[in-house]
Structure 1
Amino acid sequence: MTTQKYKDMVEQRTKMTLQEWTEQSEVKEKDIYRFLHNLKGTAGTVGLPDVEQFAEDTLPYFMESSLKSWSVEEWGDYLYPLIPLFNVHSLAASSSVKALDKKGPAETLTQNDILLIDDDVELVAYLKESLERQNYYVSIALSAERGLKIFYETKPDLILLDILLPDKSGIEVLNQIIGKAKKERIPIIIISGEYSKATQMQAYSLGVMDFLPKPVDIDLFLVLIKNRFQLKREWQESIIVDDLTGAFNRKHFNQVMKQLIGDFKRTNRVFSLALIDLDYFKNVNDTYGHLIGDEVLQGFSELVKNSIRLEDTFCRYGGEEFAVFLPHTDAESAMLVIQRIQERFAATDFFAKNEIFHVTISSGISEVTDAENIADKLIEEADQALYASKHAGRNQTTLYSDHLSTTKKHSVLNVIVVDDDTLIRRIVTSQFAIWEPENIAEVKVSSYANGLDFLQSDWYAVDEKYIILLDGVMPDLDGVEVLERIRKTYPEVNILVIMLTGRNNQADIVHALQMGADDYVVKPVHMPELLSRIERLAHRFLF
């Protein structure tokens, strides 16, 4: 459906609503509020900026909690001027719903992830919006506890941290994360209204890169962030060893792959690639803590380095996933090496909380051949074999074979839209219906008109993953109440929640983030940006 058709639908629905109200003796104020609230988000989304602005300007005259009823004469003075706006053609207006390539969003965010830990909601919202205009992705934590959780689970590229937090001080947070942040080369910038000389000296002595006093000069701030990411890229380009594990990093992985393929093309000498993943590693972090998780990664790395030859190359591919290059080695021989590592690691004792626990690995192996001597293809084959090991129960090694290529990795992502605005639901679900994000085999899309219908439905399956787009303002049961029930009832590891909120609803943003929302998007919804955001979140917990 074209954008113009959506505009026509908004106009028809608006006129129909007003016509129905003129036939009633009175209209409840809360109904007028919801009408304007929905119109504001929908009009902006489909490209009716004048209508959006009218709804935004008129909304403050009405309250959702009011019990007052309005006569036609009363509400008509506010709402009838809305009708002519649908006929205004503005050359500056452009649709927020853009055509999407079937392979994914038309616009993508860069790979620079920023974690912002601060309970100053107005500042947080402003910085988030400013940074995301520069194509950074921003995760928000309004407390130290939430910030630590996001830090350990996502490994951001840069951290913005306030000193004064509701549950513990920023200095305490610094003491907890600075060691890992240094090893991972994650810059930390303090932004705080508490900027005494003693506080700044303490922060710098702990290892922060910059200390910015509030209020923030946004122009200088954005230039500083850009500068720090440039510096970070220079660090990364000069380093080939992962500090935490001692394995080579992804940069060196790419270099070795290029060298081995070049050698194969010249000499026809085979080599094998093994991708290895620690089984249920998130459970280790959740159960014993991230410091113990780091010890497990380090223990595994030491074992591998002591089990391979000098000519082999061991790399940390990402997170808890590793890779081993075995030159002059066919797949069958490589399998013997990896299985020996697998058996030794499964027998390794780890100690935490006065108990012994064990961790296993799954792996997949591919071998370079005449037909498939391309790096991406070799990695894809090893990844398919690794997935086969996981699917078969983990703690095993699988060799790639042609029959695996016929079984696509079946990663399913459920996207659920809960919004009382029919048109918003239709727009969003129609866009997701043609969305084909990379490395996700299937996207299932469903929608609900209100929170109660959603919660009472049979929407949840234990082994599947979900991203829920949840409107903040809905009749009967608002979005924050729905979010609260989701977090109390279902495991957080399987469900990501994005709140859809009005631009001025700062209190809703605070409450939603405190209740466990993973992100929020301000209406009007810009679909390419929303798809990019969801794809990033999906890969964060699917892979």
Structure 2
Amino acid sequence: MSQNAKRLIYFAAPNTQLFSELGQQLAMFGFDFQVFDRNSALLAALHSNQVEALIIDEAGLLDTKAEQCLPLLKLLFKGPIVLASMGIEMVKQLEFLRTGVTDFISHPINLLTLIDRLDHLEEFKHIQPYKVLLLDDSDLAAKWASTALSGAGMKVKHLSDPLKIFDALDQFHPDLLLLDVYMPQCQGDEIAKLIRQRPQFDSIPIVFLSTETQRGRQLMARSMGGDDFLVKNMETEELIAAVTITAERYRTLRRWMMRDSLTGLLNHSHIIESLNREVARAHKELRPLSFAMVDIDHFKRINDLFGHSAGDRVIKSLSRLLKQSIPNPDAVGRYGGEEFALIWSDQPQLRAAQRTDELRSRFNELSHANNDGHFVATFSAGVAQLEAGMSAQDLIDAADQALYQAKAAGRNEVGLASRRKA
């Protein structure tokens, strides 16, 4: 899917008005939608369009009950089919599962819950191959492991010189390090101990791969920083399974460590880490780089008037908008509270400000629900451009000052940091 392509969702229900209103809100988050109330029209559309998900009301359509149309829908459509229901018993849920439903969502549908579900389904479809760094001085053993893991769809990089391990970790960013124990220059457990002393690599799983069969020696190696110990003459299926399980657990834990729990965006420390990398790259390659600080206007008033749950929904709405509009997940983060940070790589200040202002305008159009109806929220932003000699903290300070100016000027606007005089 291209960066600007909208994700198409089909709704099927006897009453189209409710889903049409929901679809219009979804459109603000990068989705397109169509609503069908007749089975024949839905089936014809599935033949001609690429659809991300189908959401069907438990009542079915005007001319067909859900239980009757689901088997044929499942044959035509291989994507997720989500049933929107008021709450059905487990026995009925099992029946729907057997006729083609892949997921359930409560009716009336909460917009952000639906987007969460759709994002999860999208991420599941586009899981990147696991990256394995293999450190082994034996070409024969390395070829055996590389062939097995590559055949299972993983990306494998072989390194024979243990003294180059840190350069390889920096450049390859592996999900797992497969490490020989016995090498001419040093022992694998020594390498593991050195790796564990560097915070940026401390969480990477290390799996020893060796001919060593003595259990005591294996446990001693693991005590130096290893997560598992595999023997080289094992079955290839066992090697693939062990590496997959460990790499998958690492990715899950890493996501929870790096992401803000409410929004799913990079948390404070990791958005700064990402900015530091981009600043170093921009200085080295002489590329433009801009940075924006975004702050929701009158957020305390929103919490006071509508409650903290409404405030959380506003934060999630903005985070979804940012996530859908900025394809690089390492370029947007929750800086803290109601503040967000945007990294505009390869963008000069005016272009970054224009794109930030487009986001501001789109956020203004979102409607946020509360017990008394609906309300709108706005944000202010400050944008700064990296200049010669500036650090990441200098860039943050400049954007923060521009944000302060936008707030002082009346809010709901984008401020520009002053450029340094030559």
- What TM-score, normalized by structure 1, do the two folds share? 0.30
The structure with higher relative contact order (CA 8 Å, sep 6+) is 1
- What TM-score, normalized by structure 2, do the two folds share? 0.38
